Amino acid sequence: QLLKQIPHISPQQLQQAVGQLSDYPLIGYLQYRYYQHHLRRASPDKITAFLAKYPNDYYSHRLRQQWLLQLGKDKHWQRFLTHYHNDLNPSPARQCLYAQALINTRSPKASSVITQLWLVGKSQHKYCDPVFSHFKQQGLLTDTLRWQRIELALHAGQYSLARYLAQSVSQARIAKKWVRQWKTMHKSPQSQLLKLRPISLPKPLNTQQAYFALIEYGIKRLARRSTKRAYQKWQQLKSQRTFSPSQQDSVHAIIGQRAALNRQNASLHYFNNSPAQEWRIRAALWQQNWPEVQEAIFSLEPAQQQHPRWQYWLGRSYAALNQNKKAQSYYEKLRKKRDYYGFLAADRLNQPYYMNHQQLSIESYALQQFSMRDEIKHLHAFYLMGLNKQARRQAYFLKQYLFNTQELEMMATLAHNWGWHHQAIMLLGKAESWHDLNLRFPVLHQTEILKASQHTGLEPSWLLAITRQESAFNPTARSHAGARGLMQLMPQTARATAKKINRPLRRLTELNMPHRNIQLGSTYLHQVYQQYHNPVLATASYNAGPHRVKRWLPKQPLPADIWIENIPFTETRKYAMNVLAYSAIFDYQRKKPVIRLRQRMPMVTPLQ
């Protein structure tokens, strides 16, 4: 009730409430809400005291941000500078006000700060307008800086900004023509590539390098439409101009990668042995050209070659070339890892999976002491009161800005004990603490999962793995695209699925109910499984949509590990790998026989 009254209460009423609720763990949050509504008339000394009293709470950080904006608008520059240095994540607006404060206090730092604000490829906040005007009046906004920003704007696709900046340089005619060439290349790369006539560009630009960047951009634009035409244009350009070996490799890589993303047979031809290109490896895998796979992997940087992904594929390539001892040596390096490639390597060696579960070692006394810290008590109070948004913000603030690895692990343990499982999972991810499987892979919603499994025939660990990957078991999760709940259902998909099972969705809030979300999510997964009868394709479809997966199918049967490696969407590729590995982990967590990945990954075949 007091929260609702805060916009209308007086300082005396607030003081009285603070006195009456002195032991209330969220009294600081109530004060924050008051100051938020009465920022201009609040005493600076009281705000300063509040910030000092609650340094480890997200709302103190937010109040500082809001106050800095007000101080800047009111031109209280010295006070602004005093508090700006504690701004953990300054917005563009506050950065511009910081530059104004430096100018108005005659700070020697002003020039370097303004230069950093200037050298961006997009329009800055309006609070930077007087900053740049001052820079210009002082004679510090040189042609070199203007040209540098023009280039940044062009490479960011900000042609209006580039055109505006071009008017202000001393060689404006050349600058305007340069901007027009970029814009024309963006719209009509096929015609522009051969019509391009270089003009001499002033320093700091290197004319030859600048024009190659423009050509490279044009090739990239054209390759999105047609790799064949892009390659033809490139061959014509090579016959007319001289390009360095590294420049040629760069262009071949652009065309080759676009072709590989579309699984074109000419991909390797387009790559033309360009070194250090991961999609060249994938193109070779798609064609099962094993010598080329090896050559492409060995062209990577040495550290990159050691990634489990490429170590696994080296093992696969040696096995395909009947060099089994070498293959086994690569698999042996990986087989004890608890991840997708580790499990695949163990399958190749017919060895058991290593789950490597290690419970976090935290003394109960240390955990008790940690739980008594003010910021943790405030977090727990938010959670208990159902103030989910505030609890998430507090957890995010502590996770991103304040806590070290040990503190993150203790906070994750507490969150798990409270039943806040998705937060525990995210905290351990931030801490890069991977081995406590009970915290990272809790077996939740068993009744609903088992019921859904019986209804659809889908394996329970697969459903758990999808849920873990989709929302980390957050029943109220909502994505930027609008997907909701444990299994992240889009409203349109949920309504259509509910209608098919004759259980219409009356309110979208039903998707926040675990039993309803799991019912509809498992039913939809079963529907896409029925299209392909392949869990790999069904998993990818759940993430990217069946219409896309249909386009990605091979023309001939293909091993599932090769197909997964060639999924063009990075998110979906990681998604499929994670769900497969998580399914095995959930078998282990459920104390069931572990279904091996090779059993979950049948050959991928063309759609019949």
Tokens in use for 508?
A: 């979208």
Buried b (16+ CB within 10 A) or exposed e, 352-370: ebebeeeebebeeeebeeb
Of residues 187, 155, 162, the one with CA closest to residue 177? 162
Instruction: Give strand pairing partners of 160.
Output: none
Taking a C-beta distance cutoff of 8 angstroms, is the pair 533, 458 a contact? Answer: no
DSSP-H helix ranges across 533-602: 535-544, 546-552, 560-565, 570-589, 597-600
Q: What is the DSSP string of 393-456?
A: HHHHHIIIII--HHHHHHHHHHHHHHT-HHHHHHHHHHHT----HHHHS----HHHHHHHHHHH
Taking a C-beta distance cutoff of 8 angstroms, is the pair 589, 547 a contact? Answer: no
Burial class (CB in 10 A: 0-12, 13-18, 19+), 137: exposed
3-state secondary structure 264-284: CCCHHHHHCCCCCCHHHHHHH
SS3 state at 484: strand
d(CA 113, CA 116): 5
- Please indicate whether residue 470 is annotated as part of the active site: yes
Angle at 25 between CA 20 and CA 29, to 5 degrees: 90
* Options 151, 292, 375, 470, the catalytic residue: 470
Of residues 526, 581, 573, the one with CA closest to residue 549? 573
Place of tokens 């990818």: 540
DSSP 566: T
Taking a C-beta distance cutoff of 8 angstroms, is the pair 64, 87 a contact? Answer: yes
Of residues 145, 197, 141, the one with CA closest to residue 174? 197
Of residues 281, 367, 351, 277, the one with CA closest to residue 316? 281
The answer for residues whose C-beta is within 8 angstroms of residue 300's C-beta and 6 or more apart is 275, 276, 278, 310
d(CA 256, CA 250): 10
Taking a C-beta distance cutoff of 8 angstroms, is the pair 67, 47 a contact? Answer: yes
Q: What is the CA radius of gyration of the chain?
A: 29
Active site residues: 470
